[in-house]
Structure 1
Amino acid sequence: MIEAKQGDKLLPEAPQAEEPGKVLDLMAALTESVSRAKAARGETGDADVHDLPKKRRPPRRRPPRRRRK
């Protein structure tokens, strides 16, 4: 190919794939993998859902007092 480009010749044709590649559904594969992993761990899939506690804000810091001259 490099020699053909250097000599201004026609480039050789790329070989055609005889059969198109297999297309995978990634979400279906992920869902199946997760369900197999949960089954291996013995999880039922029902999770306890609860609200998270609210974050407490730290007290505001006051700027340092100015000294009087």
Structure 2
Amino acid sequence: MKRYGMTVAAVLVAAFLAGCGPTTFIISKDNRAYYLGRKSDRLHEMLCKSGDLEAILSETIMPEELKKE
């Protein structure tokens, strides 16, 4: 019975930790960090205007129609 309780506790802790994961992740460049997933003019400048996003997308394996968006 004790083993069953430990298993249930472990499953609950794992479910809790999985649910606490962020929906955004951090991108950093030149000692500045931004959360991808939030609207930010500086993030747009860092990725789009600099051409970094095109360089990243050219190396990814994803459908072309998604890269255009």
**Which structure's relative contact order is higher, taking Cα pairs within 8 Å and 6+ residues apart?**
2
More strand by share: 2
Which structure would you say has the larger Rg? 1
Whether the TM-score (by the shorter chain) exceeds 0.5 is no
TM-score in terms of structure 2 length: 0.26
Structure-1-length-normalised TM-score: 0.26
